[in-house]
């Protein structure tokens, strides 16, 4: 039986769990969130991505109830939650600093929310044990937070915020304090736990790799606005603007003027070089300014002239060797520097190219994305 693809955002019948409707949030004269509309669906792992100060944390704090929107409404399961205080929302948050209660043990930290609900002892014990098993914390039951390592604290924070089985779990830079290796492991753990519990997760991060790894959809934010909301692959392969293309991953941007015939576009970008070819679904008027965005790994590099639609001759300026891949910075006669990436499938001693070599770089007419802005 083929597995059904999880994509409630494409189904018009589906009702969103969270709905932002024309939400604006101002702090004095500063607009943190600017007339924002957004739907987040049940069981989604939704990532809010953006540079610091873009409003992603404000958005999250409004969901938790620590901020109220200046204008507009936020709905949770169809109900306006604007005036509901944080302690009465079926929303829990995992804080960036973890905010573990230092005077309470691991067990008491996890049980804190359940005790507030007035559950009986047996039920609390069962639920806390379950959470400790899920996050592999059984051994640390009686430890205080300061007796735990960073990764363990992170798991306590996660267990504590999941204990009340919230409809929505908010994660504010949950892995920011962990080192790279642990962070990567924990990303998979998070996805695993999200799947097991079926909770809707909203994660705030400035780490684009993290967002791409864990999320079912990514929202890229800038200056209080959503620039693009899409699945990780659509965000990466089909960014809607230079901002998104540049923010997510590495990209070469070539500015030029468009000459469109059907879905083919000639991009005139240099006095001396032939125009570049690209395909697009959009419509560009004659001589309209456009940006060609091409990912470095889609740019080939070779000694002889290739047959691809776009081929340019240049000189290797720099080589960044990252072990698994190498990035070549190739300078064109026009002064543009194009990045091309190659997987190092052979050992480095057998590499073809070195500094100052004359090479051809190339890409097909479907490899690049044409952007209007």
Q: Give the residue with the Cβ less far from other proteins, 146 or 347.
A: 146
Q: Give the residue with the Cβ less far from other proteins, 166 or 314.
A: 166
Among 13, 87, 345, 354, binds other proteins (CB under 8 A): 87
Smallest gap from Cβ 97 to other proteins, in A, equals: 5
Contact between residue 83 and residue 89 where contact means Cβ atoms under 8 Å apart: no
Beta-carbon contacts of 80 under 8 Å, excluding residues fewer than 6 positions away, are 73, 74
Choices 85-93, 186-194, 197-205, 217-225; region in contact with other proteins by CB under 8 A: 85-93
Q: Give the residue with the Cβ less far from other proteins, 109 or 310.
A: 109
Q: Is 103 in the site for other proteins (CB under 8 A)?
A: yes
CA-to-CA dists, residue 52 to 13, 206, 212, 216, 261, angstroms: 35, 7, 18, 22, 41
Q: Is 119 in the site for other proteins (CB under 8 A)?
A: no
Smallest gap from Cβ 321 to other proteins, in A, equals: 34
Q: Is 142 in the site for other proteins (CB under 8 A)?
A: no
Q: Is the dihedral of CA 263, 269, 271, 272 positive or negative?
A: negative
Q: Is 144 in the site for other proteins (CB under 8 A)?
A: yes
Choices 148-156, 234-242, 258-266, 325-333; region in contact with other proteins by CB under 8 A: 148-156
Q: Is 181 in the site for other proteins (CB under 8 A)?
A: no
Among 25, 56, 127, 164, binds other proteins (CB under 8 A): 164
**Which DSSP string corresponds to 320-348?**
EE-SSEEEEEEE-TTS-EEEEEEE--S-G
Question: How many chain residues are in contact with other proteins, going by CB under 8 A?
Answer: 32
Q: Is 95 in the site for other proteins (CB under 8 A)?
A: yes
Q: Would you call 210 exposed, middle or buried from its count of C-beta atoms within 10 A (0-12, 13-18, 19+)?
A: buried
Q: Give the residue with the Cβ less far from other proteins, 160 or 339.
A: 160
SS3 26: strand
CA-to-CA dists, residue 123 to 87, 116, 133, angstroms: 20, 13, 15
How is residue 189 annotated by DSSP?
H
Query: Closest by alpha carbon to 262, among 240, 289, 241, 284?
Result: 284
> Alpha-carbon distance 327 to 242, whole Å?
21
Q: Is 85 in the site for other proteins (CB under 8 A)?
A: yes
Question: Which residues of this protein are in contact with other proteins, per CB under 8 A?
Answer: 64-66, 85-88, 91-93, 95-97, 99-103, 112-113, 116-117, 143-144, 146-149, 152, 160-161, 164
């Amino acid at each position: 039986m083929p597995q059904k693809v999880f994509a409630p955002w494409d189904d018009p019948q589906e009702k969103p769990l969270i709905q932002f409707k024309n939400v604006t949030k101002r702090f004095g004269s500063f607009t943190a969130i600017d007339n924002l509309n957004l739907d987040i669906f049940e069981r989604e792992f939704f990532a809010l991505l953006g540079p610091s100060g873009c409003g992603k944390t404000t958005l999250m704090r409004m969901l938790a109830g620590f901020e109220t929107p200046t204008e507009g409404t936020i709905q949770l399961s169809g109900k306006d939650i604007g005036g509901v205080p944080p302690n009465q929302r079926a929303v829990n948050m995992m804080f960036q600093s973890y905010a573990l209660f230092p005077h309470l043990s691991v067990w008491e930290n996890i049980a804190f929310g359940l005790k507030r609900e007035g559950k009986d002892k047996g039920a609390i014990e069962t639920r806390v044990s379950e959470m400790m098993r899920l996050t592999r914390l059984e051994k640390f039951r009686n430890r205080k937070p300061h007796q735990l390592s960073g990764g363990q604290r992170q798991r306590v924070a996660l267990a504590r915020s999941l204990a009340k089985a919230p409809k929505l779990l908010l994660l504010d830079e949950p892995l920011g304090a962990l080192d790279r290796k642990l962070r990567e492991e924990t990303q998979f753990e998070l996805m695993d736990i999200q799947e097991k519990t079926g909770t809707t997760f909203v994660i705030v991060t400035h780490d684009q790799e993290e967002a791409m790894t864990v999320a079912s959809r990514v929202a890229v934010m800038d200056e209080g606005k959503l620039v693009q909301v899409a699945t990780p692959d659509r965000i990466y392969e089909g960014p809607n603007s230079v901002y998104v293309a540049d923010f997510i991953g590495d990209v070469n941007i070539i500015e030029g003027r468009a000459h469109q015939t059907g879905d083919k576009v000639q991009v005139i970008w240099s006095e001396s070089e032939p125009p570049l070819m690209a395909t697009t679904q959009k419509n560009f008027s004659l001589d309209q300014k456009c940006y060609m965005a091409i990912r470095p790994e889609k740019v080939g590099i070779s000694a002889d002239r290739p047959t691809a639609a776009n081929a340019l001759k240049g000189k290797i300026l720099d080589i960044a060797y990252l072990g698994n891949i190498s990035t070549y910075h190739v300078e064109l006669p026009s002064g543009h520097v194009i990045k091309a990436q190659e997987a190092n499938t052979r050992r480095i001693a057998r590499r073809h190219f070195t500094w100052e070599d004359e090479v051809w770089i190339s890409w097909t007419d479907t490899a690049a994305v044409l952007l209007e802005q």
